[in-house]
Amino acid sequence: MLTAENVHLWRGDRHVLKGVGFSLSPGELLHVSGPNGTGKTTLLRVVCGLAQPEEGIVRWRGESITALGSSFFEDIGYIAHDAGLKGDLTARENLSFAARLRCVVTAAEIEAVLAALNVAECADIPARALSAGQRRRVALGRLLLSQAALWILDEPLTNLDTAGAALVLDLIARHVGTGGLALVAAHGELATRGGRTARLELA
Amino acid sequence: MNARTGILGAGLLLIERDLRLAFRRPSQVFNPLVFFLVVTTLFPLSLSPLPSQLRDIAPGVLWVAALLSSLLALEALLKSDAEDGTLEQMVLSGQPVVVLVAAKTAAHWLVGGLPLVIISPVAAMSLGVTPAAMWVTAEGLLMGTLTLSFLGSVGAALTIGVRRSSVLLSLLVLPLAMPMLIFGARATDLAIAGEAASGPLYLLGALLVFTATLAPFAAAAAVRIGIE
């Protein structure tokens, strides 16, 4: 259960988040939408605990995320706008490092995820040589291996082809279907595939 | 449900990754070393090559050159990870940031500091330092470069969000490195004069323990602010 109450955040003189609040239960997806510059990414970073709001509180299972600290990070998987891969490492090395930093993962599990995301053929290419869509698929692999209960995705469908977008929506639906939570920022419509979907419009 | 990775495992994993990255870009490892050797050879060329005079300036030259060449590599310690978003992902892994920063510092020293310690006798030899003093210098630099890496991790963490931060980083770190420079150069000086250098070496050890225990916490706090 994730709740945010009355979150206010300023960037210099700009009042970016003006009293945002929502509540998200297991098995639910919250689609954060709104035009560019309305604070979708900022809200996601606040929920991740990466940005501190000036006012308001975010709670995870009833406790403030600032009080939970790193034990909250164990429960979340965040994919930022940028895939967050090391250009000099191959896709496989990137995925293996990110997954193993969190929990014990076998090589077979990593191979299975690479195959499921259709990036097994380019797994040995340095990440800087991958296309934006392929980088995003690798980042999704990190999410799948993270065992996180709460997925926080910033514009997950950008740079993906039709098959890739369908894959992401399927993965989200499966995650939500098994009692996971998903917070997805996307400026357009999100053609969700089942599961309860709530919408939060930022302006 | 798979088991969580322990903090020791996480630290080793990060060191392995950073070493792998360093070997993909060997120039980053070798440039500071070449800088160190070039700077130390400039002095015999510009001053008189009299062995007695070289021996007088050797402690200062060796330690200042080591300090400056360590600074060269410092900017890369956290910056590249902060720029491509991998630092953020590491913080979100749930592993303690202190462990992550300490592991990155250790990896940084293994590719930047340790090679400098190993080639320091070569530079010392070119300045006419006696073999016994070479050992003392290498011992001192072993502790000195490690101290610098820890001090530097705080500076690097504070300047994560600053563009072209190398000058600011030097201004932050150099004053803090002065005690290390004083005791390090003194140790080499005493050893060249044939006296016991254990006093300054012990003090270098104390500085190392002091920075190694406190710097990762300061750097971790700065990283949390820096990635916001």
Mean pLDDT computed over A144-169: 89
**Backbone region of residue A155 per phi and psi (left: phi > 0; alpha: psi in -120 to 50; beta: other values):** left
* Calpha distance B165→B162 (Å, rounded): 5
Distance from CA of A50 to the nearest CA of B (A): 5
Q: How far is CA A20 from CA A2, A7, A66, A186, in A?
A: 13, 5, 18, 17
What SS3 string covers B138-183? HHHHHHHHHHHHHHHHHHHHHCCCCCCCHHHHHHHHHHHHHHHHHH
Q: Is B28 on the interface with A (CB under 8 A)?
A: no
The pLDDT score that the predictor gives to residue A157 is: 87
The pLDDT score that the predictor gives to residue B103 is: 96
ipTM exceeding the 0.95 mark: no
Mean pLDDT of chain A: 89
| A-B contacts at Cβ under 8 angstroms | 82
- Nearest-by-CA chain B residue for A50: B228
Mean pLDDT computed over A50-55: 90
pLDDT in tens, chain B (228 residues): 678 888 999 999 999 999 999 999 888 888 999 999 999 989 888 888 888 888 889 999 999 999 999 988 888 899 889 988 899 999 999 899 999 999 999 999 999 899 999 999 999 988 889 999 999 999 999 999 999 999 999 999 999 988 888 889 999 999 999 999 999 999 999 999 999 999 999 999 999 999 999 999 999 999 999 887
Cross-chain Cβ contact B228/A89 below 8 Å:
no
The pLDDT score that the predictor gives to residue B1 is: 63
